[in-house]
Structure 1
């Protein structure tokens, strides 16, 4: 079975298109982990047939766990569907609902990620807490981070605002925070440095994956968390390790729009035996 290696602003994916297969196959956790070892991706993207949209969309992290949302993965999937169907937009049905993608320039795709969820049960948190500024801190190797904002963008995120990105032990901090008891479904961990009201630097430790070159839902969550604290405008350019993303929080619809580059690298053959 052929699949495509792709990336969205450096976020590495393996895309498996089962829309035209008579009996679509879905991988299990062991297969995903095996493919990740062979082909080196952050997330597996699975496309299947859907009666009310252009494709059914599912995601697995490289540890084999299925996740409900992936912003850069949705942009990559949207590009693939638009290329194969020769259209300029695509409707994708994910666990969180319908996601709309459109062309925003050569190899640039925008996705409407819907509304952020901000109440503590929707993050979810283990107990009631104000999500604009969590009463929460962690220390690792002498570095302490505290008071993150919490946002659900189809998956749970916390965002810490820091001054010195380079000195921070992000791998160690991220691993401790991801599995903290406050987060019953684990959590994606963002570290943001605000450069101006319209620009920030962001690194994300993704649950089940680790530090990635970019994280689309993480970028959306960072904008929401920053704007709620009065640190940025509602439109921000975000520099990730893999490049730049643009995020806009629309005042009328309350929806988050994520824009960035995508790239299709090469095709690979998948072995369905573990």
Structure 2
């Protein structure tokens, strides 16, 4: 398996600042730098007051098997196997760079297909959801559709673990308190992302997000996918759903070949980290 070379030197690190619906990223092109920074540098860059600020950091690496390999990190420097919005942002960058209409991108979760969806939108197949307790993973063999936790949440894996709650009003949840308690629930040995969902109709939901290792975010691709999978499994929605997040709208379509996510991206600026 191809491995990222983590380089711990402090400077310089050329980067791109990108976002998908306010879910923001620092992207380092490891094809040019020879790898990505270590966890201490990542955490320093993530600081929104003294650094660049981001929800996740992504490193683009070369690959002989696919168009590129992507490695993701949370704002605390911990690794994440998946980041849907960052994948879309990088896919748009690589599509523009190559002139191609489709891409194959390797992550620690799976090889993901990406394509130009037209009208400036980018679509990524996040792969099939993980529904087995031991692969999400959970700490014990239990029904992933009804976890034994107050609020009756659903467990889903989308390359990273998720816990999804359904509530009458997402604005009534104090997510700053609710999120970290459930992120660190003992049922999830690797911690978890937390989604709060309000069902509007069979094809529309409102979503608030607490991301593992980051906190509250304006959007999240993997969380949006997990929320739709959970809602569809409960019979609350269909498989094609408009997801309203604080930063805008994502279209999620759970097909036979995986969960497809469509939405806008933005390349905000380029910079060099010299911390």
The TM-score, its normalising length taken from structure 2, stands at 0.92
1:44/1:62 contact within 8 Å kept: yes
Q: Which runs of 4+ in 1 moved over 4 A?
A: none
Q: More deviation in 115-124 or 80-89?
A: 80-89
1:109-124 alignment runs, 5 A limit: 109-124=122-137
1:171/1:211 contact within 8 Å kept: yes
Deviations 1:55-98 (A, max 9, x none): 11000011000100011111011011111112122211111121
2:153/2:165 contact within 8 Å kept: yes
Give the Å deviation of 1:20: 3.8
Determine the structure 2 residue equivalent to 1:264.
267
Residue 204 of structure 1 pairs with residue 192 of structure 2: no
Structure 2: gaps of 5 or more residues: 1-12
- Quote the Cα distance in structure 2 between the aligned partners of 1:25 and 1:230: 44
Aligned to 1:151, which of 152, 156, 176?
Answer: 156
- Quote the Cα distance in structure 1 between the aligned partners of 2:125 and 2:31: 22
Aligned to 2:20, which of 3, 8, 28?
Answer: 8
SS in structure 2 opposite 1:183? coil
Residue 166 of structure 1 pairs with residue 171 of structure 2: yes
Q: More deviation in 190-199 or 10-19?
A: 10-19
Give the Å deviation of 1:25: 2.5
SS in structure 2 opposite 1:135? coil
2:19/2:267 contact within 8 Å kept: yes
- Quote the Cα distance in structure 2 between the aligned partners of 1:220 and 1:6: 20
Residue 81 of structure 1 pairs with residue 91 of structure 2: no
The TM-score, its normalising length taken from structure 1, stands at 0.93
1:19/1:55 contact within 8 Å kept: no
- Quote the Cα distance in structure 1 between the aligned partners of 2:207 and 2:186: 24
- Quote the Cα distance in structure 2 between the aligned partners of 1:223 and 1:164: 17
SS in structure 1 opposite 2:66? coil
Aligned pairs, how many?
260
Give the Å deviation of 1:106: 3.1
Aligned to 1:57, which of 70, 73, 77?
Answer: 70
Residue 32 of structure 1 pairs with residue 42 of structure 2: yes
2:35/2:59 contact within 8 Å kept: no
Structure 1: gaps of 5 or more residues: 138-145
